[in-house]
Structure 1
Amino acid sequence: MTASTRTLIVEKADTLFYEGGFEATSFADIAAVVGISRGNFYHHFKSKDDILDAVITRRIARTRDMLDAWQDQGDDPRQRILSFIRMLIANRAKIMAFGCPVGTLCSELAKLDHAAQGRAVDILGLFRDWLAGQFRELGAGARAEPLALHLLSWSQGVAVMASAYRDEAFIHSEVAGIENWLANLPELSPVP
């Protein structure tokens, strides 16, 4: 298989897993979207778990790239945190339709007691660690990780509720609330 065919399979599987769920997506579904026969598909991926592993690897790489881009956007950790928060607005249509791609995958794999659930949670860990780093730069010290987890869980809750209610105004209201919370956090000032 060429690298581009493999990439296409993983991209399409990623979309199908997000929009329809890992368990509900079959080899035939992925093969049909990619435009290859099931036999050809099995030649390249022996199991759906192999595809899931490739999808998680792709999501980890894309998350790292996004976090690196946010990190490079400037010296102000509050502004970088706002990039994370505003992701809810930037992706609101997909979030309202399907939820958060990371949160939904982690939840589904946990329900299935799937061996890959820990790797999927690693994506949330990337966000947690990056946010904790931003809070440390703001002078949060030992509070950095709890603040990061609070913000991460708040954003996941917004994604769940936005998907349940399909209410764009709710997303905007919650993002404004998170921005206000961040602006008014006591005892945070940038570390010199």
Structure 2
Amino acid sequence: MAGANTRQQIVEAADRLFYERGFEATSFADIAGIVGASRGNFYYHFRTKDEILGAVIAYRLSKTKEMLDGWESSAETPAKRILSFIELLLINQTKIMAHGCPVGTLCNELAKLDHVAKDDAAKLFNLFRDWLSGQFAALGRGTDADTLAMHILMRSQGVATLATAFRDEAFVRREVDEMRAWLAAQRPRLSETPAPVSDYDS
């Protein structure tokens, strides 16, 4: 059990450092220093930084799926579930302004490095894309669900990038409000649904 705990601590420490400093700028010593693991104990779990990267990506995929499953069970409608995704920008605003989007920054860095794990990191975006596409389909937009999913994914990434550059909280709030309004406009028109007949209409 202690070994499993140490491994998990290494993964979580690496996850934070890769986000805050970047993958390339983070060393074994940086990670070990946070965990407090000896060199021998550290190398027992991970021989290379690429092995740690693989574990971090798997960890993020697991945590993201857990979050999406939580939205599925707690939000009653697809619109409310999509809204949960949009409002991540507000929930994580401080971290985003300091370090950017954890998914976007990792994917961008690995792409620039042409790292072998770049496609694995992109699975994080695919997870969001597929989930959002499913929500838009459930909203009644089956024919263009993937296009709408890509649009809101692209817009959230743009907001995160500019939030990091300008560190403007008001900008983030305005953009989230705009995305809320955009989402409301994607719902099927109420006029297309016959209104219930009231006793007072006769």
TM-score band by shorter chain is: over 0.9
| Match of residue 184 from structure 2 | 183
CA contact (8 A) 1:140 1:188 kept: no
Unaligned runs of 5+ in 2: 191-202
How many percent of aligned residue pairs carry the same amino acid? 58
CA apart distance, 1:74:
3.0
| Match of residue 72 from structure 2 | 71
* Counterpart AA for 1:161: L
Provide the rounded CA distance (Å) in 2 between the counterparts of 1:95 and 1:23. 19
Root-mean-square deviation (Å): 1.3
| Match of residue 145 from structure 1 | 146
**Mean Cα deviation higher: 53-62 or 136-145:** 136-145
Provide closer, same or farther for how the CA distance between residues 3 and 186 of structure 1 changes in structure 2, counting only shifts above 3 A.
closer
Provide the rounded CA distance (Å) in 1 between the counterparts of 2:75 and 2:28. 43
* Counterpart AA for 1:173: R
Provide the rounded CA distance (Å) in 2 between the counterparts of 1:162 and 1:49. 30
CA apart distance, 1:188:
6.0
Partner-residue secondary structure (3-state), 1:121: helix
| Match of residue 113 from structure 2 | 112
Alignment map for 1:21-60 (pairs within 5 Å) = 21-60=22-61
CA contact (8 A) 2:140 2:187 kept: no
* Counterpart AA for 1:116: A
Partner-residue secondary structure (3-state), 2:74: coil
CA contact (8 A) 1:138 1:188 kept: no
Partner-residue secondary structure (3-state), 1:72: helix
Provide the rounded CA distance (Å) in 2 between the counterparts of 1:37 and 1:74. 45
| Match of residue 19 from structure 2 | 18
The structure with more radius of gyration: 2
CA apart distance, 1:55:
0.3
Unaligned runs of 5+ in 1: none
| Match of residue 154 from structure 1 | 155
CA apart distance, 1:39:
3.6
Provide the rounded CA distance (Å) in 1 between the counterparts of 2:155 and 2:189. 19
Partner-residue secondary structure (3-state), 1:159: helix
CA contact (8 A) 2:139 2:188 kept: no
| Match of residue 172 from structure 2 | 171
| Match of residue 7 from structure 1 | 8
CA contact (8 A) 1:27 1:38 kept: no
Provide the rounded CA distance (Å) in 2 between the counterparts of 1:32 and 1:186. 50
| Match of residue 194 from structure 2 | none
CA contact (8 A) 2:19 2:106 kept: yes
CA displacement 1:123-175 (0-9 Å, x = unmatched)? 11010001000100111122000100000010011111001111111110100
CA apart distance, 1:186:
6.4
**TM-score, scaled to structure 2:** 0.90
**Mean Cα deviation higher: 63-72 or 31-40:** 31-40
